[in-house]
Structure 1
Amino acid sequence: MVFWEGYLSDEAMGIIAPVVVYWLYAGVYHLLPPLDHYRLHTRKEKDAKNVVPLPTVIKGVLLQQSIQATVAYSLFLINRCMLLSSFEVVVQPSLPVQFLQFIVAMLVTDAWQYFVHRYMHLNKFLYRHVHSQHHKVVVPYAFGAFYSHPLEGLLLDTFGGVVSFLISGMTARTSVFFFSFTMVKAIDDHSGLWLPGYNLFQLVFPNNSAYHDIHHYGLRGVKYNYSQPFFIFWDKLFRTYMPYTLVKRPEGGFEVRPLK
Structure 2
Amino acid sequence: MGLAVSDELLGTFVPIFVYWVYSGIYILLGSFENYRLHTRKEEDVKNLVSKGTVVKGVILQQAIQAAVAILLFTVSGNGSQAAIDMQPNFVVLVRQFLIAMLVMDTWQYFMHRYMHHNKFLYRHIHSQHHRLVVPYAFGALYNHPLEGLMLDTIGGALSFLLSGMLPRASIFFFSFATIKTVDDHCGLWLPGNLFHVLFRNNTAYHDVHHQLYGSKYNFSQPFFVMWDKLLGTYMPYTLEKRVGGGFEARPTRDYKVI
TM-score norm. by structure 1 comes to 0.93
Provide Cα deviations, 1:63-115, integer angstroms capped at 9, x if missing partner: 000000000000001123x876xx94431100111011001100111000100
Question: In the alignment, which of 40, 51, 55 is matched to residue 54 of structure 1?
Answer: 51
Q: Give the counterpart letter for 2:211 in structure 1.
A: Y
Q: Residue 170 of structure 1: SS of its match in structure 2? A: coil
- Give me the CA root mean square deviation: 1.5
Residue 119 (structure 2) aligned to one of 124, 128, 137: 124
Correspondent of 1:222 among 194, 199, 215: 215
- Give the Cα–Cα distance (whole angstroms) in 2 for the partners of residues 33 and 187 of structure 1: 13
1:7 CA drift (Å): 2.1
Secondary structure, counterpart of 2:38 in structure 1: coil
The yes-or-no answer on 1:79 pairing with 2:76 is yes
Do residues 153 (structure 1) and 148 (structure 2) align?
yes
Q: How do residues 26-175 of structure 1 correspond to structure 2 at under 5 angstroms?
A: 26-32=23-29, 34-80=31-77, 88-90=82-84, 91-175=86-170
Q: Report the residue type matching 2:201 in the other structure.
A: N
Of 239, 250, 253, which residue of structure 2 is paired with 1:257?
Answer: 250
Partner residue, 1:207: 201
Q: C-alpha distance in 2, partners of 1:189/1:89?
A: 34
Change in CA separation of 1:173 and 1:83 when aligned onto 2, cut-off 3 Å: closer
Query: Sequence identity, in percent?
Result: 61
Partner Cα distance (2:182, 2:79) in 1: 34
**Aligned match of 1:243 in 236, 240, 251?**
236
Any stretches of 5+ residues in structure 1 without a counterpart?
none
> SS of 1:246's equivalent?
strand
Q: Is the 8 A contact 2:100 2:162 kept in 1?
A: yes
- In 1, are the aligned partners of 2:79 and 2:167 still within 8 Å (CA)? no
1:18 aligns with 2:12: no
Match of 1:177 among 157, 172, 175: 172
Paired residues in the alignment total 251
* Equivalent-residue separation in structure 2 for 1:184 and 1:109 (angstroms): 15
Task: Give unpaired runs (5+ residues) of structure 2.
Answer: none
Q: Find runs of 4+ consecutive structure 1 residues off by over 2 angstroms.
A: 87-90
